[in-house]
Amino acid sequence: MSHRIATYAILSLLPLSSLADGSPWLPIPHSGTVNLSYVFQTADEFYRAAQKSSTPAGGQDIDQHTLWLNVNYGLSEEVALDLKMGYAKSEYVVDPPRSFDESLNGLSDSSIGLTWRLVDEDISEIGLPSVAVRAAWIVAGDYETGSIHSIGDGANGVEGSLIVGKIFAERVALSGELGYRQRSQDVPNDVFFNLGAYFIVTPKLTGSLEYKLNNAVSGLDIGAPGFSPARFPELKEESEIIGVGVSYNATNTLNLGLNLATVIDGRNTNDTNAIGLSVAYAFDLY
């Protein structure tokens, strides 16, 4: 059962950012998944420091459309490779027009990571959970920065995390990830935490719940002394996100997913709601 969880747990919730989540359940060696997904994000409020208010220019919507490609591949029993890349378009149309470009587009930040499983719950003689560590390289996209609707912070970086997960009665799985992210271009470093629960409703239907926390360890506040739009990437950005998802195994190799997520608290970030649709294909190179 754990390899089946591994195939679709990684598809359960589409994150709002380009940064991939880790999973303690790895694909079978020489097999993996290719996931193509579309995410729509919208916000008419944002957090100015910790105070939530309407977006500038009277609460106009900030919308972003992103097409993501995720690939996960099992290199061995203990090691897996993951790749995430995408293309996004962000729109913030105000009247009268402001000094920024109302429509931005470009390649999103990409990531490539390696996960090394230290403990496999399937073969643990004392009932330990699966335990893994993940390291990833982040590559900045080619979009413009310096406005409230920028696609990202425009910085390269690295991240590392510890991931723990356990499957209960072949019906429920829980996983948690704690990590640290460091980036260039004066973008503050982040501590992040992801918690997920996955439910096998039927052999074809899987549901998920997820909580995400991302806290910058330093940085500016919007409106603080020294702040200007050009310094948006330097903000002390914090967010708490909850999400739900459902995925359906149309065939043994084809999975369809629907995911919803919303920001429930934050600092210097948009109060975003998101919906995602995904199609995933499981492959085997034996």
- Residue ranges per domain, the chain? 2-284
Question: Which comes out higher in pLDDT, residue 188 or 203?
Answer: 188
Q: Tell me if residue 68 falls in helix, strand or coil.
A: strand
- Res 6 pLDDT > 90: no
Contacts of 169 (CB under 8 A, 6+ apart): none
What is the model's pLDDT at position 13?
Answer: 46
Nearest-angstrom CA–CA distance, 225 and 208: 42
> Using an 8 Å Cβ cutoff, are 174 and 199 in contact?
no
Cross-strand bridge partners of residue 240: 213, 265
- Res 2 pLDDT > 70: no
Q: Which residue has the tokens 């709002």?
A: 16
> Using an 8 Å Cβ cutoff, are 47 and 266 in contact?
yes
Nearest-angstrom CA–CA distance, 75 and 87: 27
DSSP strands (E only) in 21-171? 31-43, 45-48, 51-54, 62-74, 79-91, 103-107, 110-119, 130-139, 157-168
What is the model's pLDDT at position 38?
Answer: 94
Q: How confident is the model at residue 20 (pLDDT cuts 50, 70, 90)?
A: low
C-alpha pair distances (Å), 251 with each of 149, 171, 200, 233, 248: 39, 19, 16, 43, 9
* The pair of three-digit structure tokens given for residue 81, joined into one six-digit string: 């490779």
> Using an 8 Å Cβ cutoff, are 155 and 108 in contact?
no
Enter the CATH code of domain 2-284: 2.40.160.40
Q: In degrees rounded to 5, what are phi and psi of residue 135?
A: -125, 140
What is the model's pLDDT at position 10?
Answer: 47
pLDDT tens per residue, range 214-239 = 999 999 999 899 999 899 999 999 99
> Using an 8 Å Cβ cutoff, are 91 and 103 in contact?
yes
Q: Of 171, 152, 131, which is closest to residue 86 (Cα–Cα)? A: 152
Q: Tell me if residue 6 falls in helix, strand or coil.
A: helix
Residue type, 283: F
* DSSP assignment string, 188-208: PPEEEEEEEEEEE-SSSEEEE
Nearest-angstrom CA–CA distance, 74 and 82: 9
Q: How confident is the model at residue 181 (pLDDT cuts 50, 70, 90)?
A: very high
Q: In degrees rounded to 5, what are phi and psi of residue 238?
A: -130, 145
Q: Which residue has the tokens 């799985």?
A: 173
Question: Which comes out higher in pLDDT, residue 223 or 17?
Answer: 223
Q: How confident is the model at residue 11 (pLDDT cuts 50, 70, 90)?
A: very low
C-alpha pair distances (Å), 252 with each of 32, 200, 214: 13, 15, 35
- Res 40 pLDDT > 70: yes
pLDDT tens per residue, range 112-163 = 999 999 999 988 888 899 999 999 999 999 999 988 889 999 999 999 999 9
- Res 45 pLDDT > 90: yes
> Using an 8 Å Cβ cutoff, are 170 and 121 in contact?
no
What is the model's pLDDT at position 15?
Answer: 54
Helices (H), the chain: 2-9, 56-59
Q: How confident is the model at residue 12 (pLDDT cuts 50, 70, 90)?
A: very low
